[in-house]
Amino acid sequence: MPELPEVEVCRLGISPHIIAQKVSEVIIRNSRLRWPIPDEVSSVIGLPVLGVDRRAKYLLLRFSNGTLLLHLGMSGTIRVIEKDTPIAKHDHFDLVFQHGKVLRLNDPRRFGAVLWLVNDQDELGLLSKLGPEPLSDEFSKGYLFKKAKNRKVPIKTFLMNNHVVVGVGNIYANEALFKAGILPTAKAGDVDERRMDSLTNIIKKVLSAAIEQGGTTLKDFTQADGRPGYFAQSLMVYGRAGQSCITCQTRLQEIRQSNRSSVFCPNCQQE
């Protein structure tokens, strides 16, 4: 599943090819994504893309009359390729540009989304209830500790809650908690301020490093093959249950939390 770093790298990969370019055609081959693609997306025909922003895992293509929202869901990829590139299976949506390129969404599992927002008002409430961006100044010293006050939910569940902070998916929650030495089962309200601040810094570092690493895949966004925006990561705990901890050689354990895998070192991580 594309996580925040992959979506940010996608934004960086597609932006230079579509900003200031005018849309000539909108092609909906299959509108049955997570929500039906609304007909209003065709209102961008003739208009240039003013900018490409990201909020959480949503890509926001800005136009003078509104915003085209794109989400990659579980399996989506976006690339900007030549208009005459043959259609592949699962190529559900095209934004064709006057300069001969096309932004093409491919999504085998169809959990992705293409929506239209006017004035950033979204009836589905996708954007309005989100917590701060993890790489913003709003998410810094003191924030997590204050937010977690009296909360009894496990710290991992807390971190993955989009109302607390956006974009900390399962992999990054596992890795950040390992690096911060905090057990995923610790009650959020019990983690002291010093460790919460350390966790905050680690989350920023882990996500920034992933974005930087993904920078090597930027050219994939303009190629018709490959899987742009999905990059291999060097992981310390995620996917390593049963193997030894890279720090202390203790066997890493795995539990399920909110139906997601949590892998941790029982020696390096504490309540």
Applying CB under 5 A, which residues contact Zn ion?
A: 245, 247-248, 250, 265, 267-268
Shortest distance (Å) from residue 162 CB to Zn ion: 30
- Of 134, 151, 259, 261, the C-alpha closest to 199 is 134
Q: Nearer to Zn ion by C-beta: 117 or 173? A: 173
Annotated catalytic, 38? no
Closer Cβ to Zn ion, 40 or 254, answer by number: 254
Catalytic residue status for 57: yes
- 36 tagged catalytic: no
Structure-block tokens of residue 233: 């990561």
Q: Is residue 3 annotated as part of the catalytic site, yes or no? A: yes
Query: Measured between alpha carbons, how far is 68 from 238 in angstroms, rounded to an integer?
Result: 34
Residue 179: its H or E element: helix 170-180
Shortest reach from residue 255's CB to Zn ion, in Å: 16
Q: Which of 11, 54, 57, 195 is catalytic?
A: 57
Closest approach, Cβ 190 to Zn ion, in A, equals 21
Nearer to Zn ion, 140 or 249 (CB): 249
* Alpha-carbon gap, residue 82 to 26, rounded angstroms: 15
Considering the complex, state which of residue 106 and residue 174 has its C-beta at the smaller distance from Zn ion.
174
How far apart are the C-alpha atoms of 204 and 113, rounded to whole Å?
A: 27
CB atoms within 10 A of CB 271: 10
Cα three-residue angle 7-51-64, rounded to 5 degrees: 130
Q: How far is the CB of 104 from Zn ion (least distance, A)?
A: 44
Give the residue ranges of DSSP H helices in 78-151. Answer: 143-148
**Residue, CB closest to Zn ion:** 245
Active-site positions?
A: 2-3, 57, 260
